[in-house]
Structure 1
Amino acid sequence: MTDAPVRIGLAGYGFGGRYFHAPLLASTPDCEFLGVVTTSPERRKQIAGELGRPAYDSLQELARAGAEAVAISTPAATHIPLAQEALRLGLAVVCDKPFALDAASARETTELAERLGVPLTVYQNRRWDSDFLTLRRLVAEGALGTLTRFESRFERFQPEPGPPAAGGGTLLDFGSHLVDQALVLSGPVERVYAEMRSRDGGEGSEVGLDEDVFVALTHRSGARSHLSGSWRQGAPGPRFRATGTTGTYVVDGVDGQEALLVAGASPASEGERWGIEPEQRWGQVLRGDHAEPAPSARGAWDLFYPAFAAALRGTRPLPVDPWDAVTTATVLDAARTSATTGEVVRLP
């Protein structure tokens, strides 16, 4: 074992790589950020100008440069091939969501990582959203009683161009986060029902790419999760409405960490201010006519890569168990089946 920073590279420099991974890697003392794997001339210019780090032609070249790990943030359809290639090269993997296009591929890759003895985790950064951490605190404290219904939304009004093809559609893109949070909060799922609308083939659109989804989960605990993802919602609902036997937590808007990163801020530049939500963005706990503010926990995306580095050094578990991502993919497969057949799908 060693205390040296983990030598890590990034594969992909699109929106996710550029804004969700590179600034966090560069801000983590526990990681030595080597550079980015890309063959795009445009991306290489951005990397040189924005990061001052080298670009690599392939995962093999990154490995030869001494990398121990790679974060994969490329189009959804390439995640599994790249993750498997990296694992076979001996590179520990952080794979962006959606981990896989289907549960079988997710399971195959997780089993491969176990056979090879190479660490694999999935970048479920929304587990460290301010609002979700706040909700988990309220549930743990008993402030809502027993949780009975969890309503969660990623809704936007951006009908054109709609969901990016790189994300694989709204069910995979938004749904990966929505389902993961529901599973963390309420545990295993028994039944899945879903509705889904796809692109209509209008100008600039991609036919068949789902842009509006609703997924209803019945958990073994008895709790129910109602999850919505949309790119055509002109009146987005609350981010969360979590109802328990003694109260309901409601919060609007979305966690502010994404906006900070897109604006050029980072944990390194913000220091202790990182992830702090202003009071006007706090949610409330409501009990009929009585409402009280629920102070927001600090958003903590900056904890993911230190946790990953610690896992590679053997001092703590991986930040996200890859089998959790297999379970999420299984639920998403069931949702797709339900949306196609109109029937409730029962899981083993």
Structure 2
Amino acid sequence: MSDRPVRVGLIGFGYAGRTFHAPLIGATEGIELAAIASSQRDAIADQLGPVPVVGSVADLLVRQDVDLVVVASPNHSHASIACQALEAGKHVVVEKPYALTLDEARGVNERARRSGRLLAVFQNRRWDSDFLAVRAAIERGLIGQVVHFESHFDRFRPQVRDRWRERPEGGGGIWYDLAPHLVDQALQLFGLPERVEASLAILRPGASAHDWAHAILHYPDKRVILHASMLAAGGSARFIVHGTLGSLVKERADQQEAQLLAGVVPGSPGWGRDEDPLVRYDEGGRTELPAPAGDQRAFYRGVVAAIRDGAKSPVPLAQALATTAVIEAALRSSSEQRAIPLSLTRAEQVAFAED
């Protein structure tokens, strides 16, 4: 495949498909859209022009001009469609959460291993400017040993909408929607926690699915707080980190999603630029550290390298499984009102550490 682009079949043209996947694929070297499975023919034509559109997953999977299937359908269908695509001999990128339970995730991983094809979960937030800034500061030791870490996705959306993301079944609710990003970033920084303690709630009038989530990841030497809310007018700091030598505060979130919604082409001038600095506080006072530009195209660059050159997946299976384990532990913790250890086997823990 080294002499031609990786050809993509995109399943779904809802928010994720049209806002993230289509633009990022279209702006990344070595990869291109070959076909889309969706009922939204007019919307696809308006945004993308003459891209072939098929009416079903089955129709897309039999296409010989598709090397990689991107699953951007509703959450409840991610695992089953990913397995179908792997069985059809396709490489797969799947939206988060790629499975709704740990056992389901194990099944998808095993299917990927047997197929010999790439399976990568779309953890695009690893390449957000806010996370890159905080990660670099921690790795440089700018605040010493981290003892307290907070990561927030807080929004103000008081009106309940009639959509699958806000229904209680099938992977709806704020925890399934946002926890995969929050958890993945935390595991990238600190590894596996010993226990997970969480509270999930329904706070908006008329809501039926969780719209508030607060989780604490317990480590021997630190506490990691992951928080998401739909009733936070004015928002809150994206990251707050306290260490033995000082603290970090990143007020504003990465701007790539906002840019994509505004029609900014990934890679164009100003793409991923973050004018909001990371602020460090220590005994010497307050210091502003410029945030690096984010670029979520790095995920698809990694996919291309993995398919073409056998490079390591941008999101290895063991990491995706660990994120699912934390999500599931938080759900149990909220239900049982106690801290829950991760239900990962010793072999799965070792695989995570090795990745």
**Structure 1 length as normaliser, TM-score?**
0.92
Report the Cα offset of residue 103 of structure 1.
Answer: 1.2
In the TM superposition, residue 49 of structure 1 has moved relative to its aligned partner by: 1.8
Identity %: 37
Matched, 1:127 2:133: no
Of 44, 55, 63, the match for 2:53: 55
CA contact (8 A) 2:12 2:73 kept: yes
Deviates more, 1:58-67 or 1:81-90: 58-67
- In 2, distance between residues paired with 1:344 and 1:289? 38
Q: Which moved more, 1:156-165 or 1:321-330?
A: 156-165
State the alpha-carbon separation in 2 of the partners of residues 103 and 232 from structure 1.
Answer: 29
User: What is the 5 A alignment of 1:97-246?
Assistant: 97-161=96-160, 164-166=163-165, 168-198=172-202, 202=206, 205=207, 207=208, 209-219=209-219, 222-246=221-245
Relative to structure 2, which stretch is displaced further, 83-92 or 158-167?
158-167
Partner in structure 1 of residue 87 of structure 2 = 88
Equivalent pairs counted in the alignment come to: 336
Provide closer, same or farther for how the CA distance between residues 315 and 85 of structure 1 changes in structure 2, counting only shifts above 3 A. closer
Residue by residue over 1:3-31, the C-alpha shift from the partner in whole angstroms, topping out at 9 and shown as x without a partner, is: 42101121100011000110011111210
1:72 partner amino acid: V
Letter in 1 for 2:314: P
Give, in whole Å, the separation in 2 of the partners of 1:315 and 1:30.
15
Task: Specify the SS of the correspondent of 2:112.
Answer: helix
Aligned counterparts of 2:248 and 2:163: Cα–Cα separation in 1: 31
Task: Provide the secondary structure at the position in 2 that maps to 1:217.
Answer: strand
Q: Is the 8 A contact 2:130 2:252 kept in 1?
A: no
SS of match in other structure, 1:259: helix
Contact 1:47 1:54 in 2 (8 A): no
Runs of 4+ in 1 over 3 A off after TM superposition: none
Tell me how far apart the structure 1 counterparts of residues 161 and 312 of structure 2 sit (CA, whole Å): 37
Preserved contact between residue 162 and residue 231 of structure 1 (Cα < 8 Å): no
Asked if 1:327 corresponds to 2:322, the answer is yes
In 2: Cα distance, 1:162 partner to 1:246 partner: 44
* Length-normalised TM-score, structure 2: 0.90
CA drift at 1:288: 5.1
What is the CA deviation profile of residues 75-115 of structure 1, one whole-angstrom value per residue up to 9, with x for unaligned ones? 11110111111111111111011111111111110111001
| 105-114 or 315-324, larger mean C-alpha shift | 315-324
> Is this contact kept in 1: 2:98–2:105, CA < 8 A?
yes
Distance 1:99 1:315, change over 3 A: same
1:35 Cα deviation after fit: 2.4
8 A Cα contact 1:94 1:122, kept in partner: yes
- Measured after TM superposition, the shift of residue 323 of structure 1 is 2.0
